[in-house]
Amino acid sequence: MQTSKITRIAVIVLVLLFLVLSVISCSTHTHTAAPASTGKKIPPGQAKKASGSKSAKAYAPGQQKKR
């Protein structure tokens, strides 16, 4: 009778331990949207707006002097 009582308690403790460890080890991952592709250039007018300058000429590749 004693061994079955000890066995029952051991099984209950192991099941509870398994459940507790399962819940503790759960993790969630949240994925955010990736920012716009950094390799892609923005249009000269948008670059002008972002920098606050008066002319977009400095940001247009066709308007830049070759060195």
> Average pLDDT over the chain, rounded to whole?
80
- What's the length of the chain? 67
CB-based contact 48:60 (threshold 8 Å) = no
Decide: helix, strand or coil at residue 42: coil
Q: Where are the alpha helices (DSSP H) in the chain?
A: 2-24, 44-51
pLDDT value of residue 1: 56
18-19-23 Cα angle (round to 5): 115
CA 20 to the chain's CA centroid: 27
User: Which residues does the chain have with pLDDT short of 50?
Assistant: none
Per-residue confidence (pLDDT) for residue 18, from 0 to 100: 93
- pTM of the complete model: 0.38
pLDDT value at position 10? 93
